């Protein structure tokens, strides 16, 4: 690593202590950019990297609400407005007890590169709260969302910052957030994406992240002259992204044999299809945080406290959360002959895991490229809102497929151009960076 990059990384660590996930995301991206900075000294002299690692704006706020027992509860809310060089800030909201400033900064940083790759005009942002949706009643979730939006509304808008869902934030939460925004602003606009179909939402948005990740994996497999037909697949998580991925893998002739939760993983050798996919929705809606009930319902194996990466599969798709696949898991996958790892979640692989994949022949695509279908379809929702015209399901799906193919091809071509053939991480980081960096150069020191 060059002295210059090393210096920036150590400054990031010194300036932002106790934000390990942010350090990790920055380190992974900057390592790939070394070669770009050698070829383009103009980025260095304009201090593009130094500016990109500093959020344009960080908002933190108190979220007080009253629970069903009449007790006052207090959570912390955040919105990180990372970079607006190529469009309004865009990115999801995460409600999970593990949420910290560092986690949201890593997600916002990744989002900048991801959104750039989609080819749509969207800057990068992320937000959320340490609110724990587990075991909360519908009314409690509503009161929380209303309180959260009572502060957030002053910072967002359809041309400023457009939040969406992420872990713990789905259609129900987006509904409550939208209702409160509309009430406070007296405006019906496309300020959030992931909206209900009757009030400005887009067809395919719920499925888009999982579908998009599978379209991306399909393109990866194509480079080795194969496809999903007859392939065995390990999926982790059981939420929105996992659900979309499982449906599309089935459609393409693949067999998904695992799902996971914080409690462990299930192994279903016959494949997760049909009514079992519908059961995933029930599991998620129960807000219990566990995948074990699937094993009881369908009489399959449950492995408590374990992750699914030791199972022998052809393709692995981590779709749960960050750092859920480490160096040992990566070694297991490689040893068992897995040919493709395609990330539905954001940064699910640790740096050690990445190094194992990088030094093997496995096809490995990072989340910022492979899971961009979610935010890309959010971009399509924004377009439909601006036109005041909804598109048909097939139209949105065709656009999503085309976008995922473009992202894939851009990653492959960029990796080749910079001397790292088949390295999707390098291709994604460089291609995502170039568009944003050039826009920043054009716009002067801001």
Q: Taking CB under 6 A as the rule, does residue 168 contact ligand NDP?
A: yes
Which range of residues in 56-64, 115-123, 316-324, 404-412 is near ligand NDP by CB under 6 A?
Answer: 316-324
Nearer to ligand NDP, 129 or 240 (CB): 240
105 flagged as catalytic: no
**Does the footprint of ligand NDP cover residue 374 (CB under 6 A)?**
yes
Q: How far, in Å, CA of 180 to CA of 183, rounded? A: 5
* Token pair listed for 117: 């790759």
In whole angstroms, how close is the CB of 103 to ligand 2IT at the nearest point?
12
C-alpha count within 13 angstroms, C-beta hemisphere, residue 379: 25
- Based on the shown chain and the rule CB under 6 A, indicate whether residue 164 belongs to the binding site for ligand 2IT: yes
**CA separation for the pair 18, 33 (Å, rounded):** 24
Tell me which H or E stretch contains 258: strand 255-261
Q: Are 258 and 235 in contact (CB under 8 A)?
A: yes
Interaction with ligand 2IT in 309-348: which residues (CB under 6 A)?
A: 346
List the one residue from 206, 374, 427, 432 that touches ligand 2IT (CB under 6 A): 374
Phi first, then psi: what are they for 105, rounded to 5°? -70, -40
Tell me the residue length of the chain: 446
Alpha helices (H) along 124-237: 138-152, 171-185, 205-222
Of the pair 195, 303, the CB lying nearest ligand 2IT is at: 195
Residues numbered 234 to 263 that lie near ligand NDP (CB under 6 A) are: 237-241, 261-262
Taking phi over 0 as left and psi of -120 to 50 as alpha, with beta for the rest, 195 belongs to: beta
What does 240 bind: ligand NDP, ligand 2IT, none (CB cut-off 5 to 8 Å by kind)?
ligand NDP
- To ligand 2IT, the closest distance from the beta carbon of 375 in angstroms equals 4
Closer residue to ligand NDP (CB): 368 or 418: 368
Q: Is 384 in the site for ligand 2IT (CB under 6 A)?
A: no
Contacts (CB under 6 A) with ligand 2IT, residues 182-221: 193
Residue 290 is classified by DSSP as: -
Tell me how far apart the alpha carbons of residues 386 and 388 are, in angstroms, rounded to a whole number: 5
Q: Which stretch binds ligand NDP (CB under 6 A): 143-151, 217-225, 305-313, 315-323?
A: 315-323
Let me know: does 149 contact 175? Beta carbons within 8 Å.
no
When asked if residue 286 is in the footprint of ligand NDP (CB under 6 A), the reply is: no
Burial of 302 (0-12, 13-18, 19+ CB in 10 A): middle
Assess 345 for contact with ligand NDP (CB under 6 A): yes
Instruction: Specify the residue for token string 């997600």.
Output: 107
Coil, strand or helix at 118: coil
Q: DSSP states of 88-101 as a string? A: SEEEEEEE-TT--H
Q: How far is the CB of 231 from ligand NDP (least distance, A)?
A: 21
| 19-25-30 Cα angle (round to 5) | 120
CA distance 256 to 253: 10
Q: For ligand 2IT, give the closer residue by CB, 194 or 261.
A: 194
* Options 87, 91, 102, 353; binder of ligand 2IT; rule CB under 6 A: 91
Least Å from the CB of residue 95 to ligand 2IT: 12
Q: Does residue 346 interact with ligand NDP by CB under 6 A? A: yes
Q: Say what the alpha-carbon torsion angle 65, 70, 73, 77 is, to the nearest 10 degrees.
A: -10
Residue 214 CA neighbour count, 13 Å, CB half: 27
98 binds, among ligand NDP, ligand 2IT, none (CB under 5 to 8 A by kind): ligand NDP
Q: Please tell me which residue in 126, 248, 255, 368 is annotated as part of the active site.
A: 126
Quick one: what does residue 90 bind among ligand NDP, ligand 2IT, none, with the CB cut-off 5 to 8 Å set by partner type?
ligand 2IT
| Residue numbers annotated as active site | 126
Contact set with ligand 2IT (CB under 6 A): 90-92, 114, 164, 166, 193, 346, 374-375, 378
What does the binding site for ligand NDP look like in residue numbers (CB under 6 A)?
Answer: 92, 96, 98, 165-168, 209, 237-241, 261-262, 284, 289, 319-321, 344-346, 371, 374
């Amino acid at each position: 690593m060059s002295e210059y990059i090393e210096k920036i990384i150590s400054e990031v660590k010194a300036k932002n202590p106790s934000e390990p996930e942010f350090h990790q995301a920055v380190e992974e991206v900057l390592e790939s950019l070394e070669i770009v900075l050698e070829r383009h000294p103009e980025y260095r002299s304009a201090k593009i990297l130094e500016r990109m690692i500093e959020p344009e704006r960080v908002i933190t706020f108190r979220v007080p609400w009253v629970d069903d027992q009449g007790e006052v509860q207090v959570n912390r809310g955040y919105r990180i407005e990372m970079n607006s060089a190529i469009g309004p800030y865009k990115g999801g909201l995460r409600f999970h007890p593990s949420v910290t400033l560092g986690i949201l900064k890593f997600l916002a940083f990744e989002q900048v590169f991801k959104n750039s790759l989609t080819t749509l005009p969207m800057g990068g942002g992320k937000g959320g709260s340490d609110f724990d949706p587990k075991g909360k009643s519908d009314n409690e979730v509503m009161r929380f969302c209303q309180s959260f939006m009572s502060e957030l509304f002053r910072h967002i808008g359809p041309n400023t910052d457009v939040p969406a869902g992420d872990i713990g934030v789905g259609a129900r939460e987006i509904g409550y957030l939208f209702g409160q925004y509309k009430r406070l602003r007296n405006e019906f606009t496309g300020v959030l994406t992931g909206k209900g179909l009757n009030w400005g939402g887009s067809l395919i948005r719920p499925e888009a992240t999982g579908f998009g990740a599978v379209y991306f994996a399909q393109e990866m497999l194509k480079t080795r002259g194969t496809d999903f037909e007859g392939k065995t697949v390990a999926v982790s998580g059981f939420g929105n992204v996992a659900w979309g991925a499982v449906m599309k893998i089935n459609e393409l002739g693949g067999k998904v044999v695992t799902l996971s939760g914080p409690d462990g993983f299930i192994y279903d050798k016959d494949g997760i299809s049909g009514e079992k996919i519908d059961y995933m929705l029930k599991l998620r809606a129960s807000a219990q945080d566990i995948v074990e009930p699937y094993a009881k319902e369908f009489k399959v194996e449950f492995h408590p406290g374990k992750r699914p990466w030791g199972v022998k599969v052809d393709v692995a798709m981590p779709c749960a959360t960050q750092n859920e696949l480490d160096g040992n898991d990566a070694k297991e996958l490689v040893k068992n002959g897995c040919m493709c790892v395609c990330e539905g979640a954001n940064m699910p692989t640790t740096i050690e895991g990445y190094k194992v994949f990088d030094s093997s022949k496995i096809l490995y695509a990072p989340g910022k490229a492979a899971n961009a279908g979610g935010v890309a379809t959010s971009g399509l929702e924004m377009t439909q809102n601006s036109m005041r015209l909804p598109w048909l399901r097939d139209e949105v799906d065709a656009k999503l497929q085309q976008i995922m193919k473009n992202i894939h091809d851009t990653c492959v071509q960029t990796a080749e151009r910079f001397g790292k053939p088949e390295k999707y991480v390098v291709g994604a980081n460089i291609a995502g960076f170039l568009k944003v960096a050039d826009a920043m150069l054009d716009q002067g020191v801001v």
